[in-house]
Structure 1
Amino acid sequence: MTAYAVAHLRPAAHLHDEVFTYIECIQSTFAPYGGAFLVHGVTPEVLEGEWPGALVVVGFPTLRDARAWYDSEAYQEIAPLRTRHIPGDVILVDGVAPGYDASRTVAELRTAQAGAGAVPDRGTAAS
């Protein structure tokens, strides 16, 4: 199941030269893990709430690949070039399984809530 590395970054108006080096190097760190930019450093159109900053989304074949990329020596070596100069949040998240149907998830949520059971994992194929 496809997984994503998502970053909500808040860059300064003037970028430090280390950030340029980071950007020049990051894409090559994806290759061993099947990663690719899906969104890179854009300011999203905010329809609800607030989103100060930029959005980056990188797709990976699996969550395991995304974690291996993030933990890799190649990425960890360049990460401080960004983190020293651009604050932000970075998360890894699984996408939904092929054939995902939100109506099945809501049925499971209703059942779980009625029985005070656990909330199902919406990313699984059974959801």
Structure 2
Amino acid sequence: MTAYMIFTRESTQDQAALDAYHSKVRDSFDGYPHKVLAAYGTQQMLEGDPAEATVILEFPSVTAARAWYDSDTYQQVAQHRLEGSRHRVMLIKGQ
């Protein structure tokens, strides 16, 4: 069953670290089937506080999404994201 991973960047602490993340994250997807549904597009907040940025990824399953997210390759790249910004990341099982 399809799964969706949603990243919302709440704030940036270190732009250089965030730039390092952005320069490396694409390579972390090699071998992991996924689809980028939305990335850094214009947001229209209808309720709540706005995020600086949002990314929505689609994976074939929760297991596939966790395989990428938990991979050593992504976790090494993610250290730059964690150093450079405050994010919320959620995984949602599709219908």
TM bucket (normalised to shorter chain) is 0.7 to 0.9
Aligned to 1:38: 37
Aligned to 2:20: 21
**SS of residue paired to 1:87:** strand
C-alpha RMSD over aligned residues: 1.8
Larger CA deviation: 2-11 vs 57-66: 2-11
Contact persistence 2:21–2:81 (CA under 8 A): yes
Aligned to 2:77: 78
Contact persistence 1:43–1:53 (CA under 8 A): no
Q: Which has the larger radius of gyration?
A: 1
**SS of residue paired to 1:84:** helix
Aligned length: 95
**SS of residue paired to 1:11:** strand
Describe the superposition over 1:52-100 as per-residue Cα deviations: whole angstroms up to 9, x where unpaired. Answer: 321111111111000010100100011010111110110111111xxxx
Unaligned 5+ runs, structure 1? 97-127
What is the TM-score with the length of structure 2 in the denominator?
0.86
Aligned to 1:6: 6
**SS of residue paired to 1:10:** strand
Aligned to 2:59: 60
Quick one: which amino acid aligns to residue 79 of structure 1?
Answer: A
% of aligned pairs identical? 32
Describe the superposition over 1:18-61 as per-residue Cα deviations: whole angstroms up to 9, x where unpaired. Answer: 21121121122123220232111235211123223211111111
